[in-house]
Structure 1
């Protein structure tokens, strides 16, 4: 369950620097992920893209937020990040501007999302790259740690339960 009121209304910058909110990506289910190109978990991009292709027509949107806070694993420019995502993994889902997810300069969206407890009942800092937040149409949030893959049954079940048939 979530302690976040409605993360859909919190502003952030997209890859072009324009202000957006999650609501700009529709009123379906949104899967928010902090991503990093040079992370050992980067193959999760492929699973994220598969989810987008499978459920996008039903209202799922994956939203990636590049972050360089974990061992400098996202050092590139936005142009380099977007090129990597498209050419290496065929990513079609939106990638936003690079952000910080932890600390005093964390992006407001992540300050809100981190209040959500995971399946073990733990809230707080982002553990690593590829931490996932499923934002439901109601604004409720479910949190999944980095080692829970995007195609894990727990994530897929939450997505399927909250999308129209």
Structure 2
């Protein structure tokens, strides 16, 4: 039912997308489509149709974060990998900050404090700092990535639809 709503309301002239939805409905399942459509609503970065097509083709619900997790785990030490079903975005961000702090790594604590300041002041920072980018991307796309010479942080908020992720790596 959900994909019919999408087809009729949001993309009535997108023939390819309609065909793709019908194809995956027949070959996968309603749940597969529903989950990837929800995922696209949450995480698209302004180009919804393109993101939805990729999400359906590559099952982003299951693969987007897991692919990043696997790639970084091959090179860096995974120190925290939290999956949590949480519907409140502010609670997710607070959980993220706590996870960073709980790594007991002074550099991570410093990074976390920058994030907290930017977040608490609700800054729409226009600067190009990695801290601002992380918070702005998290607020806008509900997913974000931070990397410096000592730490990598992946965060993905999925509302009440799926488990959200927080992954932290140390570069050794």
Question: TM-score when scaled to structure 2?
Answer: 0.23
Task: Determine which structure has the larger helix proportion and give its number.
Answer: 2
Determine which structure has greater relative contact order: mean sequence separation of CA pairs < 8 Å that are 6+ residues apart, divided by chain length. Answer: 1
